[in-house]
A and B are shown apart, each in its own frame.
Chain A
């Protein structure tokens, strides 16, 4: 029997049995090898990230685990650990969700090939997941979120406002025209002589500084736009430090950090409010590494209360790359019976809005 038919048979049998939906998520798009098991789309049974466990330490934790060789070394152990912690075996799995883009093609291929091997061997349905969709779905794990909603995606590689009218459907309302917000953080931190990643350190310093010490620019672009630009802000911060040094003046790290953060956060919050007003969608989720930023969390929450819309942030451990969010994003695809075939490939530049275009197995429900 071919793979497609085995998948159909298993899906129909599993649905008929009424047993819980157990999804294994696999994520290898960039630095982290991660595997997770979740039940019924919401309950995390395990979420193992390579940098948090012993396997990683053998190789030292300084260099990013971006090379495919590193993911190959990690993936078996990480998946085994995720299954063990969850107390499930391969036979308990309803489906496997795996990140197939965007990311480094060599790194992505490790997860995709591993998932294909497992799914082919055991006749398990496979769901390719777009990585940014995963970050958005991290919010579904810790709250009762349901579309329609707006997502503010803020990370080292992304800054976007996304409208999500229904599961699996995405539309960009705004995006960065140059640097991502997280990247502006990292570059300002680098100029201050702080270690990578600089975002968390700048966030901490900002709590102790004066946010009005330096009037850094806010890039509004125009009254309507929900696009972002952080390159000018980055340059303004660098110039301020540079000019002060040339005049032999001291600049206070905490004040620079606080003033910079105030500029970033104000723009992120205001553009999100614009999106709420424009679409009338009153539920906002925040996704990506910068969702952990304390300044952003506080300011957006306060503003949401004033404006009367709901805002939800993932728990801190789900803000960075992890496989639980990938499994969570796979869940509505499972519910809809949308599975990918064994010809699924890694796509380095896979866009959120193109996720739904990847063909799925034609399904004949008995």
Chain B
């Protein structure tokens, strides 16, 4: 079961507002896989999502620490960047399951290195540059939970363009 949804935003503010709407509806155990070039705005999107979750602590990139946890929102946010582990990501058990199947929502950057360990039912988001400060966002749901979330998002933020 695969379903897709596309958006085009005109500014980083608009991108974050969309992300915040998603942050308002995500649930425990949701997994969001982010892809896009360096500078595409993966962390910017995650900041918006955190705002939607009601997290007040500033969200900065997890590249150095690999996983950052934020506990002060509606549900916890686990923000991961697998880049630094590379091919070794699957051998280095960082307790991934406790995040993926835990109380919070997992957002994973550079998830390709971890493909085989990530739940099959997940939301994938590919971000590319658009005009000016805007972005093209392509969501893909790969299972029933993710599809349900995507339908909710579509209702909250209809794709008029």
Contact = CB atoms under 8 A, between A and B. Distances in A.
A349 B68 CA distance: 7
A330 interface: no
Interface residues of A, number: 39
Interface in A101-140: 102-106
Interface string B26-57: 00000000000011000110010000000001
Contacts of A351: 57
Contact of B60 (A30, A68, A106, A157): A157
A161 to B, nearest CB: 14
Interface magnitude class on chain B: 20 to 34
Contacts, number: 87
Given A64-B85, A183-B64, A178 B47 contact: yes
A196 B71 CA distance: 29
Name the prevailing secondary structure of the B interface residues.
loop
Contacts of B63: 156, 183, 186-187
Interface stretch (B91-99, B118-126, B142-150, B152-160): B91-99
A187 B38 contact: yes
Interface stretch (A44-52, A231-239, A255-263): A231-239
Contacts of A156: 63-65
Contacts of B68: 102, 348-349
Given A180-B60, A190-B38, A235-B39, A103 B65 contact: yes
B153 to A, nearest CB: 24
Given A66-B92, A234-B39, A238-B38, A180 B61 contact: yes
A83 B69 CA distance: 34
Contacts of B44: 178, 231
Given A190-B38, A235-B39, A67 B64 contact: no
A25 interface: no
B67 interface: yes
B85 A105 contact: no
B5 interface: no
Contacts of A187: 38-39, 63
A156 B57 CA distance: 18
Contacts of B94: 66-68, 104, 106
B70 interface: yes
Contacts of B84: 64, 196
B75 interface: no
Nearest to A188: B38
Contact of A104 (B61, B66, B88): B66
B55 to A, nearest CB: 10
A142 interface: no
A177 B43 CA distance: 11
A199 to B, nearest CB: 10
Contacts of A182: 64
Contacts of A190: 38
**Which 4 residue pairs of A and B lie closest in terms of their CB atoms, listed nearest first?**
A156-B64, A157-B64, A67-B92, A348-B69
Given A66-B92, A348-B67, 6 more contacts: A62-B88, A63-B85, A180-B60, A183-B64, A231-B43, A349-B68
10 contacts: A64-B66, A67-B94, A102-B68, A178-B47, A178-B61, A179-B61, A180-B60, A180-B61, A239-B39, A348-B69
Interface of A: 30, 62-64, 66-70, 102-106, 155-158, 175-180, 182-183, 186-187, 190-191, 196, 231, 234-235, 238-239, 348-349, 351
